[in-house]
Amino acid sequence: MSWALAGLGLGSFLFLLFAIGMPVTLAFFGVNLAGAWVFLGGEAGLEQLVRNTGVSVNSFALLPIPLFVMMGEILFHTGVAYRSINAIDRLLQRVPARLAVVSLAGGTVFAALSGSSIANTALLGGTLSPDMLRRGYSPTLSFGPVMAVGGIAVLIPPSALAVMLGSLSGISISKLLIGGIVPGLLMSLGFLLYILAICWLWPHVAPREQIHSGGSFRERYWPFIRDVMPLSLIFVAVIGGMLSGLATPTEASALGAVASLVATACYGALSLKTLKTSLLETAKVSVSILFIIAASTTFSQILSFSGVTTGVTEVIGSLRLSPDMLVLAMLGLLLLLGCVIDQVSMMLVTLPFFMPLAAAANIDTIWLGLMMLVAIEIGLLTPPFGILLMVMQGAAPRGTPLAQIYRAAFPFIVIEVMVLGLMFAWPVMVNWLPGLLD
């Protein structure tokens, strides 16, 4: 069987399973079962599939995934995240479009503590977005910043997707985690400048809220000192441990998980009920991710044995594209896929091809990996199937048209694409911070 026919068969079967609504994990395992039987030697191929499943998840480097997920779940279910957002709300009293800026600042803080885009958007969308609509904010400011800042959780550590990308691609996990900080903060700054600019150009998009004069130190500043600054120490501990070389990503994630437990206990918010709920949700998310990683190992092996990986690499190599053109083609494909499939599927489908091509063209894999994370993040917001669009519709007031949510996301998608363009044109912008680990 030719590699082209093998690739067509595997790809068609995979997208057929997606089309009938099969979950990502089961879809890839279904393709793996068929591919292992055909390309890896019948029963011997199925035995190899079982061995791959055990080997792929039996890795110390994957421990940050459940630990980072647990950090976010604990802060979310104990209500500590809500307290930090309320504290930021009290602090920011004299800025235009105050609630939109609060959602942006609060979402960035929560992204640096949780690593979960969906939890970030659900938290802010269920609390701030309806309130902004009631006060007269435009839908763009009510929905857009909440969705956009939710996506930043993919970049700013702790990020389970960054750990997954590193483990599947062989790129340094610690460098991906550290490298996501600069583009994540750049996006937050871009979103803030956009909000302030449209409020200055079109004042009607946000109400002129009644500003309460000053307030006492205890009313305005003390909640921020009490509810935000101690939590920021968790982020400092995780990132500082990796940057200083004192901790690996796994050790840093363990430190962050323990710190989140200690912090919520000190706030008096940790109970057996919230701990049980947090651990159950952590187990659900982590098992799903680890199953996907297990499926991807055999999928990559099948693509290699069938000749698909080599064939595609040779065809693209014959085009004699420059490294920059090759990277642009990869990013363009990711942006296109982001419109129709989820982020994990994007990684599983593209990495078996992207990494051999990058190695052959001597492309900096840290630079490529970080741009891939940004492209994957943009896919969270791109219609028609961006997952954060669906989360926002679920959190928005009943009857909110999906088209209105699409329009609210558009200007923030443009800002994210601009940041991606900056990363492509100026690699040193994202490489200098991971370079400190060398």
- The pLDDT, as a whole number, for residue 160 is 81
- The pLDDT, as a whole number, for residue 96 is 77
Amino acid identity, position 57: V
Cite the DSSP H helix spans in 23-159: 24-39, 43-57, 64-77, 80-91, 98-114, 117-135, 139-151
8 Å CB contact between 341 and 292: no
Q: Classify residue 116 as exposed, middle or buried by CB count within 10 Å of its CB (0-12, 13-18, 19+).
A: buried
- The pLDDT, as a whole number, for residue 95 is 76
- The pLDDT, as a whole number, for residue 388 is 84
| Backbone conformation region of residue 247, classed left if phi is above 0, alpha if psi is from -120 to 50, else beta | beta
Long-range pairs for 351-356: beta carbons < 8 A, 24 or more residues apart: 351/165, 351/168, 351/169, 351/296, 351/300, 352/299, 352/300, 352/303, 352/304, 352/309, 353/309, 353/312, 353/313, 354/169, 354/330, 355/169, 355/170, 356/309, 356/313
* 128 to 132, 278, 413: CA distances (angstroms): 6, 23, 21
- The pLDDT, as a whole number, for residue 368 is 94
Domain edges within the chain: 3-435
For residue 13, give the H/E element and its range: helix 3-19
8 Å CB contact between 176 and 364: no
- The pLDDT, as a whole number, for residue 97 is 79
CA-CA distance, 346 to 15, in Å (whole number)? 12
Q: Give 302-321 as a DSSP string.
A: HHHHTTHHHHHHHHHHHTT-
Owner of token pair 């763009």: 140
- The pLDDT, as a whole number, for residue 209 is 61
* 97 to 9, 137, 140, 298, 353: CA distances (angstroms): 52, 8, 12, 50, 45
The answer to whether the bond into 384 is cis (omega within 30° of 0) is yes
Q: Tell me the longest C-alpha to C-alpha distance in the chain.
A: 76
- The pLDDT, as a whole number, for residue 397 is 77
- The pLDDT, as a whole number, for residue 1 is 60
- The pLDDT, as a whole number, for residue 246 is 79
- The pLDDT, as a whole number, for residue 324 is 92
8 Å CB contact between 99 and 131: yes
CA-CA distance, 277 to 283, in Å (whole number)? 10
Task: Walk along the chain (438 residues) and give the pLDDT tens digit of each residue.
Answer: 677 788 788 878 877 887 787 776 778 788 888 888 888 777 777 887 777 777 777 777 778 888 888 887 888 788 887 788 778 877 777 777 788 888 888 888 877 777 677 777 877 777 778 888 888 888 888 888 988 888 888 888 888 888 888 888 888 888 998 999 999 999 999 999 999 999 888 888 888 665 555 566 677 788 888 888 888 888 888 888 887 777 888 888 888 888 889 989 988 888 899 999 989 988 887 887 777 777 777 777 787 777 777 777 777 777 778 899 999 999 998 888 887 677 777 887 788 888 888 988 899 999 999 999 999 889 888 887 677 887 888 777 777 888 888 899 999 999 999 999 999 999 998 888 888 876
